[in-house]
Amino acid sequence: MRTASIFAVGWIGFCAIASFALAEGAHTMVAPNDIKWAPAPKMLPAGAEAAVLFGDPTKEGLFALRLKVPAGYAIPPHTHPAYEVVTVISGATNLGMGETADRGATKALPAGSFFALPPGMAHYVYFDEETVVQVTTNGPWGIKYVNPADDPSN
């Protein structure tokens, strides 16, 4: 399995435009209309947009980001190096567990749903409608595809 690192050029450029930097000891507040969407990093399949709300995914430490995906979007089986804590903001996520994608084995999670996955737990997701999820975890963020051929950064 190959790890796609957040230090890829796409992430570095993406994080450079993130407008919600955190000064030590400061607080962060982001209203929905203030979110600045940009193309998601190349470690994710094409078509997603992302916005960093807090922290820096390229560095050690806590961060929060939102992903906006179009209807029909999918992320093949993969793992992450740290806990992944996700809230479905709008739309719905179809989450499946394991190293082989099986759409029939997914659980539909509508807006307002929450899930948390420990490091190294293989999972995959399908989106039947435009969806926004919020991911909170510790950086540096990475994704390791079970099948290296699924890695869009190849």
pLDDT at 5 over 90: no
Whether 69 and 127 have beta carbons less than 8 Å apart is answered as: yes
Whether 66 and 133 have beta carbons less than 8 Å apart is answered as: yes
- Mean pLDDT of the region 110-137: 98
Higher pLDDT, 27 or 135: 135
pTM: 0.85
Angle at the Cα of 11 from the Cα atoms of 7 and 16, rounded to 5 degrees: 110
Residue 102 CB contacts under 8 Å (≥ 6 apart), including other chains: 96
Percent of the chain past pLDDT 90, that is, above it, reads 80
In the numeric block, which tokens belong to residue 114? 């929450």
Question: Residue 21: what residue type?
Answer: A
